[in-house]
């Protein structure tokens, strides 16, 4: 048994501007905010805390830093688009008009978008 076998995840996403990012995660993505202090705004994501932490000189990475598993990616993309989210189309990926990419073996469908800091987030429908 490993030292972290019983551990629960805590997600940490960095932001340069919490005043802009906090409403994005709460109002645009629809996550339930469970707290806020000098260090982070805290949201619930499937029972795990997501801490939106301020880092003044944060520079986002190009790769996906966090993904949301959804039951119906088409509906989730549509709902987020209605809330003003733009989905990223990568040249050569073969995504559909909504930005949804299907894996070659058809085991998953994925769509990518960015938060106000440029952090790359994704939606994934498995199966």
Residue 22: give its domain's CATH number: 3.30.720.120
Give the 3-state secondary structure of 21-47.
HHHHHHHHCCCEEEEECCCEEEEEECC
pTM reported for the whole predicted model: 0.93
**pLDDT (tens digit, 9 = 90+) per residue, 38-86?**
999 999 999 999 999 999 999 998 899 999 999 999 999 999 999 999 9
Per-residue pLDDT at 21: 96
* Domain encompassing residue 85: 60-127
Q: Classify residue 104: in a domain, yes or no.
A: yes
Confidence of residue 1 (pLDDT cuts 50, 70, 90): confident
Q: Is 65 in the same domain as 122?
A: yes
For the chain, the domain total comes to 2
C-alpha–C-alpha distance, residues 122 and 120, integer Å: 7
The SS3 call for residue 67 is strand
Determine the pLDDT at residue 25: 98
d(CA 109, CA 125): 5
The C-alpha angle with vertex 124 and arms to 42 and 22, in degrees rounded to 5, equals: 25
Separation of alpha carbons 29 and 98, rounded Å = 17
Task: Judge if 66 and 84 occupy the same domain.
Answer: yes
Q: What stretches of 28-106 show up as alpha helix (H) in DSSP? A: 73-82
Residues 111 and 127 in one domain: yes
């Amino acid at each position: 048994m490993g030292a972290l076998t019983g551990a629960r995840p805590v997600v940490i996403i960095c932001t340069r501007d919490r005043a802009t990012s906090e409403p994005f995660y709460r109002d645009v993505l629809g996550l339930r905010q469970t707290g806020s202090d000098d260090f982070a705004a805290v949201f619930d994501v499937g029972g795990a805390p997501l801490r939106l932490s301020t880092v003044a000189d944060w520079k986002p990475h190009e790769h996906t830093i966090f993904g949301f598993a959804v039951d119906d990616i088409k509906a989730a993309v549509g709902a987020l688009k209605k809330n003003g989210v733009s989905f990223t189309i990568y040249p050569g990926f073969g995504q559909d008009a909504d930005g949804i990419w299907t894996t070659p073996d058809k085991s998953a469908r994925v769509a990518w978008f960015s938060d106000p800091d440029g952090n790359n987030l994704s939606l994934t429908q498995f199966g």
